[in-house]
Structure 1
Amino acid sequence: MLEEIAAQMREGLKDRTFDNTLKFDCGADGVLVLADGTATTDDRDTDCTVTISADNLNKLLAGDLKPTTALMLGKLKVSGDMGVAMKLGQLLA
């Protein structure tokens, strides 16, 4: 499932600039890393890590779950550079 999301994100990143590194940590389902202008499921250290279930990541990317709401409800947790997480909202728009 994360590989499919990574493929969609790679396509979406073609027209956008994201100079930071960000990891979605989906626990046992794996990771999704945005870095170097692309998306991959290869784990690495990043500027910011968002811990979220794969199901909620799908909802977030589909626009069915707002980042702020998810954070307030504990459906996602952010560690590292919060500024990078804030840029994610622009990427999702």
Structure 2
Amino acid sequence: MADLEQVMEAIEERSAVLSTLGYRVRFDLTDGGSILVDATGGGVSVSTGEAGEAGEAVTVMKLSSDNLLKLVRGKLSPMIAFSTGRLKVQGSQGVAMKLAGLLE
């Protein structure tokens, strides 16, 4: 299980790319916790919270912290993660696809 701080740092390292997303996306981690990425307003803020807490996210992605870390670092394709069931998407599929394009 990846450390939550480690995952957040990896997301923040990609903030220049993620700033073009323009939406709020929440990652609900199957092994505990939740990370909200707010890419509205031209910048990126990354915060933690409990699953379901930040209702403003247009897309919610459910996956393990290990798989999220692999996704952010480019070691796991978003499409492969989705098609193999390691990633589940709720909400806007279009925003999920845009995020996938930014992470590849």
Provide the TM-score with structure 2 as the length reference. Answer: 0.76
C-alpha distance 87-26 of structure 1, shift in aligned 2 (>3 A): same
Pairwise CA distance, 1:89 = 2.1
| Structure 2 gaps, min length 5 | none
Q: Secondary structure at the match of 2:97?
A: helix
1:26 aligns with 2:29: yes
Taking every aligned residue pair, what percent have the same amino acid on both sides? 33
1:89 aligns with 2:92: no
1:57 aligns with 2:68: yes
Pairwise CA distance, 1:39 = 1.2
Pairwise CA distance, 1:32 = 1.2
Letter in 1 for 2:60: T
Q: Secondary structure at the match of 2:61?
A: strand
Q: Secondary structure at the match of 1:29?
A: coil
Pairwise CA distance, 1:90 = 3.3
What whole-Å deviation, never above 9, does each CA across 1:36-83 have from its counterpart, x for those lacking one?
A: 421111341110000001111111122221111111110110000011
CA distance in 2, matches of 1:20, 1:48: 8
Provide the TM-score with structure 1 as the length reference. Answer: 0.84
Q: Secondary structure at the match of 1:25?
A: strand
Pairwise CA distance, 1:19 = 1.5
Q: How many residues are paired up? A: 93
Of Structure 1 and Structure 2, the greater helix share is in 1
